[in-house]
């Protein structure tokens, strides 16, 4: 059998050592060239009071392979078979189906424990590594699975960790630590991905930034409970690991049964987080079914009218939206049976006859007559105890102790519908299918608004099964209504992961439309997701979630680098606001093909009082950059904007993309290039990267856009 597997793509190499029947990760990181190096090189010497054969940690770390940290596979047969020793049975390397990447397939088995693990490692052309693992019980008795994680080692120079955390209306905030011996674990036990869920667990060279340093990052494509960790063992070996978190008794494999773990995504970059991001964005954009039509300008009714569903009001809102250039009108929560507020009605997916005596058709027709698409809010996985559905089927509420046992504490007055129960699943499918069949609906805003930490079906923990049942619901509805797009919303950004994105077309990154908060949330959500998948709306002048007031220019420019929309009662705009918003919408429409296909570039700024980021077309002929002030600056002058990612030898014309908001200007004068007759400067990419352009002094919490295009 082959003694090594060597995969290479886009500056990343993976070298697996298969000698001794084990799979040891000799290298995951920078490209090592054409020839697979001898993996023996990486084995060290044996210290005293230690295992006799030091070797790199296995792809599935096992005590039986001299690993003293967290095992990659854990479980038992009523206490037995607790320490498997997996041996390679088969290994192959082939081109990955039609993608231009490579795929290594491994079969590992432990005869004594009667377990088999099939591993597929797919290296995408952009350098992203996908790891898929399936565990099969080859024995006659049950095997209870405790964990099947994906682990990958990082080298000693990775001394700093990065992960993200958050809460409602403040998702995806970074935190950094020095990597020391021990384990840094981010557990997500929400019954959904979670507001605080880290999109990636990353390690890098000291001080790694957006454009510099080596970085290794792992993401788990899963919308249920999961763990992400960095572990440095006593021998200094350091692992990144991700995996599903399973509760006791939750996953028991009968004879011949298998468990397929969620796909783990691993990105390496030799040039900072932008390289990690590029690996993810390339892969995400290369998927079959990635949205390919221009992302329509959205108006979502939530912050405009909340539960006040009045046909007359909604029609005039649609008129005002259409007048601005909106292309998709989304009716949010409040349209179904008995739903007057957020305490009741979930589960009763019938149009409320009191609020909507003629059904949704009059509104839908009105919206469509204006040339807009129609979208509708649903929350199919939930049930209010105050609903017809709960009164009729109280046993359909997912409960920890059996169908008639106690319920869990409520959250937003709601419970989780037990979708593992086929009758409940069928009922919800039928309701949604009927809604989509009977109404001309182009889009669903699919919400999921609660944590549920003790999900149960028939008295057994069911987060795993519930997550798969929800996935099946998305998949079945998509198959039945292939033209309906779906947004993943979960009290804002509590379900943002590449598992849900296999069956949805965008995420609602956060319930906050405060542009200052959004600067951070969108920046870090887009570490993994390209901008076209991240909903970003212009909210009202004073944000409903924070009470902060921002200029329209800041709110609109912040929403520009995403899937642009509005969440504001635009019936009452002043003429000036209408003109300004229309101009931004026109600008978005003219530039969305660039924003939604180009390479994301974030600028490492000297301090945190401002942020700069942009997108550069793949041929580097065009670019857009945003400069945003987040706080007062320690300096009188803002440091020049050094623009990365351009062709150093090409000459670029730099202009303002949108007129400067005169109320944003904090200084007595503007930089010379902006006051020249042309209002532009022409310089090479090299000069822009090294010297940069002087910026106007802006008050805090304001922004501007620069447009760049190559000149001959
Ligand atoms: C959640 C969503 C919001 C809105 C409300 C409606 O909080 O995140 O955008 O749809 O539900 O109840």
Q: What is the pLDDT of residues 285-305, one digit of tens each?
A: 999 999 999 999 999 999 999
Question: Is pTM, for the whole model, over 0.85?
Answer: yes
| Res 43: pLDDT | 84
Q: Are residues 426 and 307 part of one domain?
A: yes
Q: Is the CB of 657 under 6 A from ligand 1?
A: no
Q: What does pLDDT average to over the chain?
A: 97
| 284 vs 343: CA distance, rounded Å | 37
Q: Are residues 302 and 266 part of one domain?
A: no
Q: Are residues 606 and 590 part of one domain?
A: no
Residue nearest to atom 9 of ligand 1 (CA): 511
Residue 98 reports pLDDT greater than 80: no
Query: Considering 529, 563, 596, which residue would you say is the last residue of a domain?
Result: 596
Residue 562 alpha carbon to ligand 1 centre in Å: 19
Q: Is the CB of 448 under 6 A from ligand 1?
A: no
Confidence of residue 560 (pLDDT cuts 50, 70, 90): very high
Q: Are residues 134 and 31 part of one domain?
A: yes
Task: Region of 156 please: left (phi>0), alpha (psi -120 to 50) or beta.
Answer: alpha
Q: Is the CB of 491 under 6 A from ligand 1?
A: yes
| Residue 292, domain member (yes or no) | no
- The b-or-e profile of 585-612 (16+ CB within 10 A means b, else e) is bebbbebbebbbbbbbbbbbbeeebbbb
Residue nearest to atom 11 of ligand 1 (CA): 491
Task: Establish whether 274 is a catalytic residue.
Answer: no
Residue 172 alpha carbon to ligand 1 centre in Å: 18
Confidence of residue 100 (pLDDT cuts 50, 70, 90): confident
Confidence of residue 86 (pLDDT cuts 50, 70, 90): very high
Q: Is the CB of 333 under 6 A from ligand 1?
A: yes
Q: Are residues 609 and 503 part of one domain?
A: no
> With pLDDT > 70 as the criterion, what percentage of the chain qualifies?
100
Q: Are residues 369 and 448 part of one domain?
A: yes
Q: What is the pLDDT of residues 246-266, one digit of tens each?
A: 999 999 999 999 999 999 999
Residue 499 alpha carbon to ligand 1 centre in Å: 21
The strand pair at 226-232 and 238-244 is best described as antiparallel
Q: Are residues 515 and 609 part of one domain?
A: no
Q: Which two tokens stand for residue 574?
A: 């002043």
Confidence of residue 535 (pLDDT cuts 50, 70, 90): very high
Q: In terms of residue numbers, what domain contains 439?
A: 298-596
Residue 491 alpha carbon to ligand 1 centre in Å: 6
Residue 695 alpha carbon to ligand 1 centre in Å: 38
| Res 424: pLDDT | 98
Residue 169 reports pLDDT greater than 90: yes
| 702 vs 550: CA distance, rounded Å | 8
Confidence of residue 44 (pLDDT cuts 50, 70, 90): confident
Q: Are residues 451 and 371 part of one domain?
A: yes
Catalytic-labelled residue, pool 333, 418, 447, 610: 447
| Res 96: pLDDT | 87
Catalytic-labelled residue, pool 110, 132, 442, 511: 511
- DSSP string for residues in 119-185: EEEEE-TTS-EEEEEEEEE-SSS-EEEEEE-EEEEE-TT--EEEEEEEETTEEEEEEEEE--SEEEE
| Res 521: pLDDT | 98
Residue 197 alpha carbon to ligand 1 centre in Å: 19
Residue 603 reports pLDDT greater than 80: yes
Q: Which two tokens stand for residue 152?
A: 């990958």
Query: Which of 306, 486, 511, when mutated, tests ligand 1's pocket best, judged by the most ligand atoms within 8 Å of its CB?
Result: 511
CATH assignment of the domain containing 440: 3.20.20.70
Residue 99 reports pLDDT greater than 90: no
User: Contact at 8 Å (CB) between 640 and 694?
Assistant: yes
Q: What is the pLDDT of residues 187-226, one digit of tens each?
A: 999 999 999 999 999 999 999 999 999 999 999 999 999 9
Q: Are residues 193 and 109 part of one domain?
A: yes
Task: Establish whether 447 is a catalytic residue.
Answer: yes
Q: Is the CB of 342 under 6 A from ligand 1?
A: yes
Q: What is the pLDDT of residues 684-694, one digit of tens each?
A: 999 999 999 99
Structurally, the chain folds into a number of domains equal to 3
Q: Are residues 256 and 150 part of one domain?
A: yes
CA separation (Å) from 65 to 69, 146, 148? 11, 19, 16
| Residue 227, domain member (yes or no) | yes
Query: Which of 414, 449, 495, when mutated, tests ligand 1's pocket best, judged by the most ligand atoms within 8 Å of its CB?
Result: 449
Confidence of residue 565 (pLDDT cuts 50, 70, 90): very high
Q: Is the CB of 446 under 6 A from ligand 1?
A: no
Contacts 24+ apart (CB under 8 A), 506-509: 506/291, 506/295, 506/532, 506/533, 506/534, 506/535, 506/563, 507/533, 507/534, 507/535, 508/445, 508/535, 509/171, 509/172, 509/534, 509/535, 509/536, 509/562
User: Contact at 8 Å (CB) between 174 and 162?
Assistant: yes
Q: Are residues 497 and 450 part of one domain?
A: yes
């Amino acid at each position: 059998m082959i003694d090594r597997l060597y995969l290479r793509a886009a500056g990343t190499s993976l070298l697996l050592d298969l000698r001794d029947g084990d799979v040891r990760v000799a290298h995951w990181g920078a490209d090592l060239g054409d020839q697979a190096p001898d993996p023996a090189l990486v084995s060290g010497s044996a210290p005293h009071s230690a295992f006799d054969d030091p070797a790199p940690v296995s792809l599935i770390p096992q005590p039986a392979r001299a690993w003293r940290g967290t095992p990659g596979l854990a479980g038992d047969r009523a206490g037995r078979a607790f320490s498997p020793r997996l041996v390679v049975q088969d290994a192959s390397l082939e081109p990955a189906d039609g993608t231009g990447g490579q795929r290594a397939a491994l079969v590992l088995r432990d005869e004594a424990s009667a377990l088999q693990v099939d591993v597929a490692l797919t290296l995408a052309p952009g350098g992203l590594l996908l790891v898929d693992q399936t565990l099969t019980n080859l024995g006659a008795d049950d095997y209870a699975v405790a964990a099947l994680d994906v682990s990958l080692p990082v080298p000693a120079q990775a001394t700093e960790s990065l992960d993200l955390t958050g809460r409602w209306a403040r998702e995806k905030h970074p935190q950094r630590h020095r990597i020391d011996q021990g384990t840094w674990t981010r557990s997500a036990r929400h019954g959904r991905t979670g507001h605080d869920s880290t999109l990636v667990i990353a390690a890098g060279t000291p001080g790694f930034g957006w454009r510099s340093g080596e970085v290794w990052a792992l993401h788990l494509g899963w919308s249920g409970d999961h763990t992400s960790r960095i572990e440095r063992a006593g021998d200094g070996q350091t692992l990144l690991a991700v995996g599903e978190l399973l509760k006791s008794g939750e996953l028991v494999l009968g004879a011949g049964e298998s468990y397929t773990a969620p796909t783990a995504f691993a990105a390496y970059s030799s040039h900072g987080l932008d390289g990690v991001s590029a690996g993810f964005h390339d892969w995400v954009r290369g998927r079959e079914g990635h949205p390919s039509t221009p992302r329509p300008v959205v108006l979502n009714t939530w912050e405009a009218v909340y539960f006040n569903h009045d046909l007359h009001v909604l029609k005039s809102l649609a008129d005002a939206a259409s007048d601005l250039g909106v292309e998709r009108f989304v009716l949010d929560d409040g349209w179904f049976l008995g739903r007057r507020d957020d305490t009741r009605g979930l589960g009763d997916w019938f149009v409320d006859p009191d609020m909507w005596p003629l059904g949704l058709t009059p509104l839908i027709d009105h919206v469509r007559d204006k040339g807009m698409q129609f979208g509708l809010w649903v929350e199919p996985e939930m049930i209010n105890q105050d609903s017809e559905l709960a009164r009729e089927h109280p046993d359909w509420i997912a409960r920890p102790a059996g169908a008639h046992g106690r319920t869990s504490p409520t959250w937003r007055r709601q419970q989780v519908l037990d979708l593992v129960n086929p009758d409940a699943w069928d009922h919800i499918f039928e309701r949604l299918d009927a809604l989509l069949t009977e109404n001309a609906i182009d889009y669903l805003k699919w919400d999921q608004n609660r944590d549920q930490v003790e999900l149960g079906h028939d008295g057994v923990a069911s987060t795993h099964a519930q997550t798969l049942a929800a996935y099946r619901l998305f998949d079945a509805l998509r198959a039945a209504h292939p033209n309906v797009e779906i947004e993943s919303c979960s009290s804002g950004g509590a379900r943002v992961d590449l598992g849900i994105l296999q069956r949805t077309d965008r995420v609602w990154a956060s319930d906050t439309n405060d542009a200052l908060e959004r600067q951070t949330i969108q920046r870090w959500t887009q570490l993994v997701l390209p901008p076209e998948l991240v909903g970003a709306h212009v909210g009202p002048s004073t944000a409903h979630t924070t009470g902060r007031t921002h200029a329209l220019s800041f709110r609109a420019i912040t929403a520009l680098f995403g899937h642009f929309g509005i969440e504001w009662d635009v019936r009452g705009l002043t003429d000036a606001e209408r003109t300004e918003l229309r101009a931004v919408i026109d600008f978005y429409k003219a530039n969305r093909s660039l924003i939604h296909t180009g390479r994301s570039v974030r600028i490492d700024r000297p301090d945190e009082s401002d942020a700069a980021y942009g997108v550069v077309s793949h041929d580097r002929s065009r670019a857009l950059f945003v400069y945003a002030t987040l706080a007062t600056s320690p300096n009188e002058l803002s440091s020049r904007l050094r623009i990365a990612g351009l062709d150093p030898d090409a000459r670029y014309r730099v202009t303002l993309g949108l007129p400067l908001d005169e109320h944003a200007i904090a200084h007595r004068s503007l930089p010379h290039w902006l006051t020249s007759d042309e209002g532009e400067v022409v310089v090479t990419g090299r000069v822009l990267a090294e010297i940069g352009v002087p910026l106007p002094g802006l008050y805090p919490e304001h922004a501007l856009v620069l447009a760049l295009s190559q000149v001959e």
